[in-house]
């Protein structure tokens, strides 16, 4: 059975294109507390940061399936931004507020946790030499 890729990166790219084609400015809301988020910490408020993803505000913007990466200026200083797609809470047009908020379902199903040997009542397998 093949796994279905998560929807969030595809929805994010589609909304980014729609906002840009509408001549508006795409902004994303990021959960800056998620592991792997690289943003300038002085601009984080209440654990979140809003980033302008317009083509004029970013350098080398990459909206991949796992990461958003780009360079951007904050208070005149260029910073490298790297955000896991799972940290994106929503995308919207700055001028109109129209956009999309993402749910955890957009990341796809999480695999069930693997029980430890003690939890599932089994022991590690041992091999014997049979002659």
Give the per-residue SS3 of 81-101. Answer: EEEEHHHEEEEEECCCCCEEE
Looking at residue 103, its pLDDT comes to 83
Annotation: CATH topology of 10-102: SH3 type barrels. (2.30.30)
What value does the mean pLDDT of the chain take? 86
Residue % of the chain over a pLDDT of 90: 73
Written as six digits, the tokens of 63 are 């909206």
Question: Residue 90's beta-bridge partner residues?
Answer: 29, 101
Looking at residue 105, its pLDDT comes to 65
Cα angle: 49, vertex 83, 98; to 5 degrees: 55
Residue 35: pLDDT over 80: yes
Looking at residue 2, its pLDDT comes to 60
pLDDT band at residue 24 under the 50/70/90 scheme = very high
Q: pLDDT digit string (tens) for 67-125?
A: 999 999 999 999 999 999 999 999 999 999 999 999 876 565 544 444 544 444 545 55
Q: What is the pTM of this model?
A: 0.77
Summarize the confidence of residues 11-36 as an average pLDDT.
Answer: 97
Looking at residue 5, its pLDDT comes to 85
Domain ranges of the chain: 10-102
Helices (H), the chain: 8-21, 117-120
Residue % of the chain over a pLDDT of 70: 78
pLDDT band at residue 4 under the 50/70/90 scheme = confident
């Amino acid at each position: 059975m093949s796994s279905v890729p998560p929807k969030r990166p595809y929805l994010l790219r589609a909304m980014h294109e729609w906002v840009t084609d509408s001549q508006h400015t795409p902004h994303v809301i990021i959960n800056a507390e998620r592991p792997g988020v690289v943003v300038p910490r002085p601009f984080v408020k209440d654990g979140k940061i809003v980033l302008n993803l317009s083509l004029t505000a970013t350098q080398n913007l990459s909206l991949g399936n796992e990461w958003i990466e780009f360079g951007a200026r904050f208070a005149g200083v260029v910073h490298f931004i790297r955000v896991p797609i799972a940290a994106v809470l929503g995308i919207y047009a700055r001028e109109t507020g129209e956009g999309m908020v993402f749910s955890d379902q957009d990341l796809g199903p999480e695999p069930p946790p693997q029980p430890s040997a003690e939890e599932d009542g089994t022991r590690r397998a041992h091999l014997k030499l049979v002659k």
